């Protein structure tokens, strides 16, 4: 396990092998108003690779939509540069950028048919009628809209309207496709269906895509890489597995899924390993820092296992030979949610640790200890992750 470092690097180990479609260099955006100065983007550096599906993820007000609008040209950066295929487009107006936006609202023309909605951009670009017909028929097939070309938007379902909006964007063959929370207006079941459809279509087209959302599940399910943003800066960039299993900051660990947050103290070092005082015992981990340094460690609830105490007086805390931290406590809450039971354990010092017990047909919730009973929480040392707390 390695402690997170606070640096500005946003590239992944294989980044040099991939062509960069879009590059943001020191992009800053400041809004001045009667209420004062607001820095929406704080010197953002980011490479977007050719053909990838990149998701910008974060809570409301983190700067993700400002970043997307800056890419599209709807916002002019206060400082910095936006490059497309190595050439600056910072001062290029939106209508001259080879990009297309899929908006949160479908923005379809209600008086035009599906065919005419999709063909609209091509007609504006003065593409020949023959080529328009060919291109529209191709995207109707890709979007599973064959036979619906003569319908009006009001005659379509929400999912079909979303596919028409996407078809209208891809038919112009953009260099980069931008998505501004396009699934937020759909119900939960249709949203799940459409995210699979969007990913399938993006892979089929191979178009570089930037997707903005606040939904962690969407980001994890659809993305090649995820950019996690907070308060105008980038917290971490990585593939979904890296973001979830190797969070670099407390914000990322807490925003993506759930995490048990455990304060710890480095008490000494032997080579690369540090001896860390954690939950009343000493644990050897690969983490940077000198003796006396306080650190924050996290562990995911699904990595924590809960077992009944062997005996009522067996309130031990130790690290087993196979590298598992065992600490005793009491089961304070047990919430059955169908596929799993959510457990909350209170340790002797008052620390609360959450666990997720996933069920199978052979092992269901009846195997869970009773609330109030003594239990042992088992935390694999390899599942612990040191994170930075703040910038």
On the question of pLDDT at 268 being above 60, the answer is yes
Domains and CATH numbers, the chain: 18-255 (3.40.50.300), 260-387 (2.40.50.100)
101-105, 220-224, 254-258: the lowest-pLDDT one: 101-105
Two tokens, residue 374:
């003594």
Report the pLDDT averaged over residues 177-199: 85
What tokens does 39 get? 């820095």
How confident is the model at residue 312, as a pLDDT? Answer: 66
Three-state DSSP class for residue 17: helix
User: 35: helix, coil or strand?
Assistant: coil
Q: Give me the residue label for tokens 């105008």.
A: 232
Q: What gap in Å lies between CA 158 and CA 202, rounded to an integer?
A: 19
193 vs 109: CA distance, rounded Å: 24
User: How is residue 90 annotated by DSSP?
Assistant: T
What pLDDT, in 10s, does the model give residues 69-120?
Answer: 999 999 999 999 999 999 999 999 999 999 999 887 778 999 999 999 999 9
pLDDT at residue 86 in the model? 96
Taking only the tens place, the pLDDT of each residue in 359-376 is 877 767 777 888 989 999
Average pLDDT on 157-180 reads 91
Q: What is the pLDDT of residue 13?
A: 44
Q: How far apart are CA 324 and CA 341, in angstroms?
A: 22
Average pLDDT, stretch 260-277?
92
Q: How large is the average pLDDT for residues 222-239?
A: 97
Gap between the Cα atoms of 39 and 251, Å rounded: 19
Q: Is the pLDDT of residue 221 over 90?
A: yes
99-102 and 87-88 beta bridge pairing: unpaired
Distance in angstroms (rounded) separating the CA atoms of residues 33 and 193 = 41
Q: Read off the DSSP letter of residue 252.
A: H
Q: State the average pLDDT over residues 139-155.
A: 92
Res 1 pLDDT > 70: no
pLDDT in tens, 43-78: 999 999 999 999 999 999 999 999 999 999 999 999
**Helix residue spans in the chain (DSSP H):** 64-72, 114-124, 129-142, 158-170, 188-205, 216-222, 240-245, 250-255
Over the chain, what is the mean pLDDT? Answer: 90
176-180/208-213 β-pairing: parallel
Is the pTM above the cut of 0.75? yes
According to the model, what pLDDT value does residue 299 have?
A: 97
Confidence band of 391 (pLDDT split at 50, 70, 90):
low
Q: Which two tokens stand for residue 79?
A: 């400082």
285-343: pLDDT as tens digits: 988 889 999 999 999 999 999 999 877 666 678 888 889 999 999 999 999 988 899 99
pLDDT at 106: 78
- Work out the average pLDDT over 6-34: 74
What is the percent of the chain where pLDDT is above 70?
94
């Amino acid at each position: 396990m390695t402690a997170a470092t606070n640096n500005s690097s946003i590239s992944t180990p294989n980044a040099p092998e991939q062509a960069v479609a879009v590059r943001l260099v020191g992009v800053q955006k400041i809004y001045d108003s009667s209420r004062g100065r607001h820095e929406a983007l704080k010197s953002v550096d980011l490479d977007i690779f050719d053909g990838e599906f990149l998701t910008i993820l974060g809570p409301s007000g983190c700067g993700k939509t400002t970043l997307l609008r800056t890419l599209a040209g709807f916002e002019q950066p206060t400082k910095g540069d936006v490059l497309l295929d190595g050439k600056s487009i910072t001062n290029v107006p939106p209508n001259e950028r080879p990009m297309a936006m899929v908006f949160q609202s479908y923005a379809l023309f209600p008086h035009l048919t599906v065919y005419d909605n999709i063909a609209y951009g091509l007609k504006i670009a003065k593409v020949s009628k023959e080529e328009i017909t060919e291109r529209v028929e191709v995207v109707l097939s890709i979007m599973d809209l064959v036979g619906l070309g003569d319908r009006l938007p009001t005659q379509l379902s929400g999912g079909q309207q979303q596919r028409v909006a996407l078809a209208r964007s891809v038919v112009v063959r953009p260099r980069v496709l931008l998505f501004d929370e396009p699934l937020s207006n759909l119900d939960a079941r249709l949203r799940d269906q459409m995210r699979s459809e969007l990913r399938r279509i993006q892979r089929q087209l191979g178009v570089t895509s930037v997707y903005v959302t606040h939904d962690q599940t969407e980001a994890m399910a659809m993305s090649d890489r995820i950019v996690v943003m907070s308060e105008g800066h980038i917290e971490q960039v990585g593939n979904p597995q890296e973001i979830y299993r190797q969070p670099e900051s407390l914000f990322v660990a807490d925003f993506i899924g759930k995490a048990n947050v455990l304060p710890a103290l480095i008490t000494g070092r032997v080579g690369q390993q540090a001896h860390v005082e954690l939950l009343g015992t000493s644990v050897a981990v690969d983490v940077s820092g000198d003796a006396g340094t306080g650190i924050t460690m996290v562990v995911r609830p699904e990595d924590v296992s809960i077992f009944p105490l062997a005996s009522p007086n067996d309130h031990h805390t130790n690290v087993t030979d196979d590298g598992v931290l065992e600490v005793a406590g009491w089961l304070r809450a047990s919430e059955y949610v169908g596929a799993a039971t959510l457990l909350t354990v209170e340790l002797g010092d008052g620390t609360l640790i959450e666990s997720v017990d996933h069920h199978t047909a052979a092992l269901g919730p009846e195997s869970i200890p009773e609330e109030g009973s003594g239990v042992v929480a088992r935390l694999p040392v390899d599942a612990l992750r040191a994170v930075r707390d703040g910038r």
